[in-house]
Structure 1
Amino acid sequence: MDALPLYLTASLLLIITPGPDFLFVLGRGVVDGRGAGLMSAAGVSAGILVHTLAAALGLAVLLSAVPRIFWILKMAGGLYLLVQGLLLIRDRQNGSVGQVLAAADLRACFVQGLVSNVCNPKVAFFFIAFLPQFVMVDIPGQGLAMAGLGLIYALMTMVFLALLALFAGRFSAWLNTERRAARFRTVSGILVMLLGLRLLLPIKG
């Protein structure tokens, strides 16, 4: 599968880019300890699986019935990544990591991570736009292929967020400076924009 290395690279760049899930797990790890951070990461990853299942079931039917939708989604996905990259660069000075939620038990941390991810409409649109970029439109089992890609994304997310939770204190102290946070978001924004441009171009082979 020629698109798999690109998918893994794209997923990694998107996962490590600071966002709501990133800050949620970071905050839990810093304030409530490693256990809370790990359970929050597990909740977020479970939410990703929910979005993956919904996207795979719905898009499989649409792509089989109307192949042109694939190309529409491909264009939308590339443009979406371009916009997200621009927003990261534009808002690079607004990357505070000091705001966290109050302490709660481990089960509540998992549930809050799950709900915050599942109830975020931006995440739903992201998976609808992102997964089809790496699935061939003319092969059977498109839904299964998207589910597999989503599972890979969820596992990568869990590993990264778990590591983030384990080292939350040190990472938070390093990132919680305005200049470093701004630089991190600028670099991430440029990389995401380049990825969006790459997805808008045809993949040979």
Structure 2
Amino acid sequence: MDYLDEFLLIVIAHFFAVASPGPDFAVVLKQSVQQGRRNALWTSAGVGAAILLHIAYCVLGVALILTQSPSLFMALKYVAGAYLAYLGVQALKAAKPPASAEDEVENKIVQEEPVWLAFRRGFLTNALNPKATLFFMSLFTLVISPTTPTSVQVGYGVYMALATWAWFSMLSMVLSKASVREFFQQRGYWFDRGIGVILIALAIRVVI
């Protein structure tokens, strides 16, 4: 109860951060439509697990180092931008399905990738997102008091990881519904290309 006010601030800040459109949302949306529910849920789990990475370096004090080392942070931004650009280019390569396959698209899902690839995709998308890095650095330097016990800070982190996983899992359940997936699959290659443009734009925004 001693840290209830601090926790409520974290809950509010985290909700607005996770609900705002960004690379995580774009990737989960793409996986839900292209790969189906199970794959999207594993991608969501990867996004949630990456939160624990951010929490780990913040608790260990690396966040303070990053704030004092602009060159290190810039290197992180370039790596993140390159990864998002790579995802965007892959999406732009989407080709129009053959005419003979148009009648089969209603219940068809692109050949599903292994779940470990889906998990890795979600994990790397969030782990390399400088927006997430800045958010957690801000929390641990401005909102969370230096006197807050490490165990409490870890508890905050576990909550944010679980809340992130729950949020994107909910989105996965909605976006992977047959009616929603059918709508996107009928325009699949345009959808993929649109997501590719968004991811490349995000990559450029991250770098500049």
TM superposition score category, shorter chain reference: 0.5 to 0.7
Kept in 2: contact 1:92–1:185 (CA 8 A): yes
- 2:5 alignment partner in structure 1: none
Deviations 1:10-39 (A, max 9, x none): 5x2213324xx655543453xxxxxxx2x4
Is residue 163 of structure 1 aligned with residue 174 of structure 2? yes
Kept in 1: contact 2:33–2:175 (CA 8 A): yes
- 2:33 alignment partner in structure 1: 26
Per-residue deviation, 1:68: 1.6
Query: Is the alpha carbon distance of 1:44 and 1:70 closer, same or farther for their aligned partners in structure 2, counting shifts above 3 Å?
Result: same
Amino acid at match of 2:135: F
Mapped to 1, the partners of 2:133 and 2:23 lie a distance apart of 16
Deviations 1:166-193 (A, max 9, x none): 121221112x23x553234213421443
Kept in 2: contact 1:74–1:133 (CA 8 A): no
Is residue 187 of structure 1 aligned with residue 198 of structure 2? yes
Query: Is the alpha carbon distance of 1:133 and 1:184 closer, same or farther for their aligned partners in structure 2, counting shifts above 3 Å?
Result: same
Amino acid at match of 1:45: S
Spell out the pairing of 1:129-148 with structure 2 (5 A cutoff). Answer: 130=130, 131-135=132-136, 136=138, 137-138=140-141, 139-140=145-146, 143-148=154-159
Gaps of 5+ in 2: 1-8, 98-108
- 2:26 alignment partner in structure 1: 17
Deviations 1:43-67 (A, max 9, x none): 333333333334423542143xx72
- 2:81 alignment partner in structure 1: 82
Kept in 2: contact 1:27–1:99 (CA 8 A): yes
Kept in 2: contact 1:88–1:185 (CA 8 A): yes
Gaps of 5+ in 1: 30-36, 103-111, 201-205
CA RMSD of aligned residues (A): 4.0
- 1:60 alignment partner in structure 2: 59
After TM superposition, the score normalised by the length of structure 1 is: 0.58
Mapped to 2, the partners of 1:126 and 1:171 lie a distance apart of 24
Aligned residues: 171
Kept in 1: contact 2:51–2:127 (CA 8 A): yes
From the CA coordinates, give the structure whose radius of gyration is larger.
2
Kept in 2: contact 1:93–1:182 (CA 8 A): yes
Mapped to 2, the partners of 1:161 and 1:152 lie a distance apart of 14
Is residue 172 of structure 1 aligned with residue 189 of structure 2? no
Identity between Structure 1 and Structure 2 (%): 11
Kept in 2: contact 1:26–1:164 (CA 8 A): yes
- The farther-off stretch of 153-162 and 165-174 is 153-162
Mapped to 2, the partners of 1:76 and 1:85 lie a distance apart of 14
Is residue 150 of structure 1 aligned with residue 150 of structure 2? no
Mapped to 1, the partners of 2:197 and 2:110 lie a distance apart of 21
Per-residue deviation, 1:94: 1.4
After TM superposition, the score normalised by the length of structure 2 is: 0.57
Deviations 1:84-104 (A, max 9, x none): 4543554453135963139xx
Amino acid at match of 2:42: G
SS of aligned partner of 1:67 = helix
